[in-house]
Amino acid sequence: MLEIRKAGERGSTRLPWLKSRHTFSFGGYKDPQEMGFSDLRVINDDWIVPGKGFGQHAHRDVEILTYVLQGTLSHRDTLSNSAKIKAGDFQLISAGSGIEHSEFNASPTQPVHLLQIWLTPHSLRTKPSYQQKHFPLDERRGKLQLVASKNGQDGSLRILQDAKIYAGQFGYGDTYTLPLSSRRHVYVHVVTGKLKVNGETVAEGDGLKLTDTQTLTFSHAVDAQILVFDLRAENGKTSKKQSFGICATRACARRN
């Protein structure tokens, strides 16, 4: 089964300091048909104006992967981490039993563009942790590079879920095939450009849900950057005790 989620069908948030597109239900955007896919719960495309961002807020029992596409994001948290996340960097926060953090555009003049991705963890109330790594575009041209996995294989970030997350960059003439298990679910998010995935043409902001698929083939690309999520076939069940600690966007805004 292959289902395309077009970019124009996503939800949106627009504030004076933030523009965001939501692949799945988030904050004030509610769509009972789009509550996530397997353990994947959030894909937010965020643009933050210079000097603004999310003030300190709490999360619990969620894996938060942030990928900066343009600009620099400034991060602070209650684990004593203080970091600058630059374009090409992936940050992974395992919120576990609880963490508070803030995220701001580090530049007074340039916007920052990022993807924020949430997955449910395999266990609740684990010890919170922080990871960050740069994955250069040149090292994933014409192929998929593993950026997060359960066991941290091949130098990837270690995520607390049975999932593999790949990043790829494809251009004219590139063709790439990823073997899959038919017992898995796969989600493809098109970050930039356009390409064909298993013969279907998709473009920036589009997503594809795939089940019972043994191969994933990318072709006919034009400046395409993608993320691929290899996920459990079982739908992730959210415990009644589980709380993502979703920040109310307005409450987290810094207003200088």
Residue 254 lies in a domain: no
Residue 253 lies in a domain: no
Residue 250 lies in a domain: no
Catalogue the E-assigned strands of the chain.
2-5, 11-14, 18-22, 40-48, 53-59, 63-70, 72-77, 82-86, 89-94, 99-105, 112-119, 129-134, 144-149, 157-158, 164-170, 176-179, 184-197, 200-203, 207-211, 215-232
- Per-residue pLDDT tens digits for 207-250: 999 999 999 999 999 999 999 999 999 754 443 334 454 454 44
Q: Is residue 153 predicted with pLDDT exceeding 80? A: yes
What pTM, to 2 d.p., does this model score? 0.93
- Per-residue pLDDT tens digits for 87-132: 999 999 999 999 999 999 999 999 999 999 999 999 999 999 999 9
Residue 248 lies in a domain: no
Q: What is the pLDDT of residue 83?
A: 97
Domain count, the chain: 1
Q: Is residue 196 predicted with pLDDT exceeding 90? A: yes
Q: What is the pLDDT of residue 118?
A: 98
**Confidence class for position 147, pLDDT limits 50, 70, 90:** very high
Are the C-beta atoms of 136 and 178 separated by less than 8 Å? no
- Per-residue pLDDT tens digits for 32-51: 999 999 999 999 999 999 99
CATH of the domain at 210: 2.60.120.10
Percent of the chain's residues with pLDDT above 70: 91
Residue 246 lies in a domain: no
Full residue range of the structural domain in which residue 215 is found: 2-237
Q: What is the pLDDT of residue 247?
A: 52
Q: Is residue 31 predicted with pLDDT exceeding 70? A: yes
Q: What is the pLDDT of residue 246?
A: 47
Residue 175 lies in a domain: yes
Torsion of CA 207, 141, 46, 148, to 10 degrees: 80
